[in-house]
Amino acid sequence: MSRDSAIYNTLLKAAQLPHITLVLVDNKAAVFDYSQVDILFGDPDLTSQIVSQCTRLKWLQSTWAGNAALFSSDKTDYQLCGVKGVFQQAMQEYVFAYLLYFSRNLAGFNQSQKSKIWAAPTYRSLAGKTLGIMGVGNIGQAVAKMAKHFSMNTRGYTRSSRDCEFIDQYYTYNDEQSFATGLDYLVCLLPQSKATTGLIDSAFLSYLPEHCVLINAGRGTTIVDTALIGALKNNSLKAAVLDVFEKEPLPEYHPYWDLDNLYVTQHTAAESLPEDIFPLFSSNYCRYIKGETLQNVLDFAKGY
């Protein structure tokens, strides 16, 4: 059940997975007896609309990294598997495209060119700057690894993981001030949960230096919109790059669109491409029919 159902259908047929009866559903209006479904494979927002009808459901393979729609459902008597291990390079490219944009002041050089001014604008190196990474899972670790290629200092904000060799210092929940103080750049990659919702509020933003740039490519609910808008308008934060929002698509009336120091990308930092996602399903399906442990099983209690 996916917006890319036609592509997944082609991949499924080519894979010739054994013992599987395929039912292709690409919209919520399709009529089907879901009570006979053992396995679901699809987009979380679509599958969440029918998951309660799947009384025999044993396993749901999500096509996205974010699964808030499924976690908000009362149904939890099945294995939910997420998407991991496919977004690292895309997120590295996204994050460092903007880190380099700001550090090397590409906008300033462009303006000098338009004004026919030879004198170079101010610019800086990433070397020696401090990058804070909120969420140090496999994607956060990949960003930290790239940061070390640029000789940056790294801080990790995490609930549990502390084994990344590319993180210089770790911080945990309730230690936000120490984590945020002195950051040059902040990248938020946190999942959506009760603990992360509204985490970046006015108090958190007040800990960041005025020259700090915030990038959120995790979940839109992590940021309190009014707090960020206030910080950007008051120039207590240099800039923000937002790829995710509490409501998507971002409404035309939202104040974010009109802020000169806020950069909107349309949830494109690390997209779920069928050719990347299908091998995860195929591998897990082979495990499923053999009775083996599935990979990337999510925890309903934690929300990730």
pLDDT digits (tens, 9 = 90+) for 69-99: 999 999 999 999 999 999 999 999 999 999 9
> Is residue 26 pLDDT above 80, yes or no?
no
108 CB contacts (<8 Å, ≥6 apart)? 121, 122, 123
- How sure is the predictor about 151, in pLDDT bands with cuts at 50, 70 and 90? very high
The span from the first CA to the last CA of the chain, in angstroms, equals 21
pLDDT digits (tens, 9 = 90+) for 264-282: 999 999 999 999 999 999 9
Closest to 209 measured CA to CA, from 238, 246, 168, 249? 238
Please report the pLDDT score of residue 302 as a whole number. 87
> Is residue 1 pLDDT above 90, yes or no?
no
Average predicted confidence (pLDDT) for the chain:
95
Q: What percent of the chain has pLDDT over 90?
A: 89
- Cα(56)–Cα(228) distance, integer angstroms: 44
> Is residue 30 pLDDT above 90, yes or no?
no
pLDDT digits (tens, 9 = 90+) for 169-220: 999 999 999 999 999 999 999 999 999 999 999 999 999 999 999 999 999 9
> Is residue 27 pLDDT above 60, yes or no?
no
